[in-house]
Amino acid sequence: MTSRTRKKPERRPSPLTREQIIEAAIGLLDTAGESGLTFRALSERLATGPGAIYWHVAGKGELLVAATDHVVVAALSEVAGAEPTGRIHDVALGLFDAIERHPWLAPQLTAQISHNPAGSVTTCIFEAIGRQVYALDVPASSWFTATSALMHYILGAAGQNAANLALVRSLGPDTDRDAYMDSVTAIWKQLSPQEFPFARAVADQGLDHDDRAQFLAGIDLIAAGLTARRTD
C-alpha cells in the first residue's frame, strides 16, 4: 500500500508587512466585495497563515478601516490646482474616481463617517476640503457648514454615480449605458405634464450628460455660493 503525500502550500519567502496585508485586502474587496474579505481568503492570497495576519491587524473591522484609509489618502494625494476652486476640483475628482474604482468604498465611507467622526478617514477628508474653503476666504463662522456641505455633496454624488454604474453592470455585459439612459429619458417624457412638468422639460438635458462634468458643475455652484457669501 502506498501512502499519499499532500503538497504543502507555498509559504512567503519574506516577512509579511501590514502594507502588504492592506493592499491584498483592497484587491479582495475590489473583486469579491466585503463578504469576500475573509482571513482565510487573505491567507491564501498572501501565501501565509492567519496568525501572521493577526499579528498586524486585530480583525476584519480594523482591516476595513485601514483599507478605506489607504484608498482615501491615495485619492487626496494629487492636489495641484493653482487656485482654491481648482484644488477643490482635485480633491473632489480624487474621491469621485476612487469611489468609482472601488465599489465597496462608498458604503465604507458612510459607515466610518457616521460611526467614527473623529477617525482618520473622516478627518482626512474634512481637512482636505476645509483647507480650500479657508483659502476661498469664507467667513470663519461658516467654515464648518461650508466644508460639511461640500463634503456631503462630493461623497453623495460620487456614491450615487458608483451605484448607477453598478446597476448598469448588473444588467449584463452587453448593456450600453447610453441606451439605458435613453430608455429612462423616454419614460420621463411620458410622465404626466400636469404632475411632472419640470421632469419632462429637463428629460434630455438632465439625463444625457457627462457624469464627471455634471459632478464638477455642482462643485462650482457650491463654490460660487461660498464666494458670494464672502463678499456680502
- Name 122's Cβ contacts closer than 8 Å, sequence gap at least 6: 112, 113, 116
Distance CA 181, CA 184 (A): 5
Burial tier of 174 (Cβ tally within 10 Å: 0-12, 13-18, 19+): exposed
Supply the pLDDT for residue 11.
55
Supply the pLDDT for residue 229.
65
Where does 83-231 sit in CATH, by number? 1.10.357.10
Where are the domains positioned within the chain?
Answer: 83-231
pTM across the whole model: 0.84
Alpha-helix runs per DSSP H in 39-142: 39-46, 50-54, 60-75, 84-101, 105-115, 120-135
Reading the chain (232 residues) residue by residue, the pLDDT tens digits are 444 554 444 555 567 899 999 999 999 999 999 999 999 999 999 998 888 898 999 899 999 999 999 999 999 988 877 788 999 999 999 999 999 999 999 999 999 999 989 999 999 999 999 999 999 989 999 999 999 999 999 999 999 988 888 877 777 777 777 777 788 888 988 999 999 999 998 887 766 678 889 999 999 999 998 888 665 5
Closest CA to 103 of 159, 176, 185: 159
Supply the pLDDT for residue 110.
92
